[in-house]
A and B are shown apart, each in its own frame.
Chain A
């Protein structure tokens, strides 16, 4: 069974940093592109970032470019999102998700809440 379990969320002050993790199991992690998608409270889904299967290629939404870094450790079956210079508007539930087809996310984690507030 495919499982994605996010962790690392919490309360952080504006300008602070946080690193999210997503532990994957039940599939060959190193074979799949992975994504982060976020959802602000009461709002819609917003794509954040993606990384290819071996970690050699990454892409970011304009709103996080230069502040967030996606990475992966295929030996540990873990996806990461390093978030720096956090702003109030980054407050959201962050989901990790696995591509099952081009530009389609067939597996999602349960999400981890990041709150940016003083």
Chain B
């Protein structure tokens, strides 16, 4: 399994919206509605932000939303805030009872 493809970096100004893409294949993203997104601040453990493509865990701001089209999933963050600056990782189930495959990560900079 190859890692999912994410842009290395994205940036936006406070209040703006940004979208991070996550491209896989018909064997992972395209086959399962089991894409999750994680936020990781430096030196901290990852935090689940989105699961099953578009569901938000309790406590996660509704500024975070997820979607999927074909082999590409997306995370959108609206109303950017300084605390959103972090690394973001997508992950897709790929069968075989594993967790799946992660993307390479995207560094979000809030200008």
B105-A102 in contact (CB<8A): no
> A residues touching B (Cβ–Cβ < 8 Å)?
35, 37, 44-47, 50, 57, 59, 61, 95, 100-106, 108-111
Counting residue pairs across A and B whose Cβ atoms lie within 8 Å, the total is 71
Residue of B nearest to A47 (CB): B99
A44-B104 in contact (CB<8A): yes
How many positions in chain B have a CB within 8 Å of any CB in the partner chain?
Answer: 28
Contacts of B40 in A (CB 8 A): 45
Q: How many Å lie between the Cα of A35 and that of B98 in the bound state?
A: 9
> B residues touching A (Cβ–Cβ < 8 Å)?
3, 32, 34, 36, 38, 40, 45-48, 51-52, 55, 57, 89, 91-93, 96-105
B52-A104 in contact (CB<8A): yes
Q: How many Å lie between the Cα of A47 and that of B99 in the bound state?
A: 7
- Shortest Cβ gap from B3 to chain A (Å): 7
Residue of B nearest to A109 (CB): B45
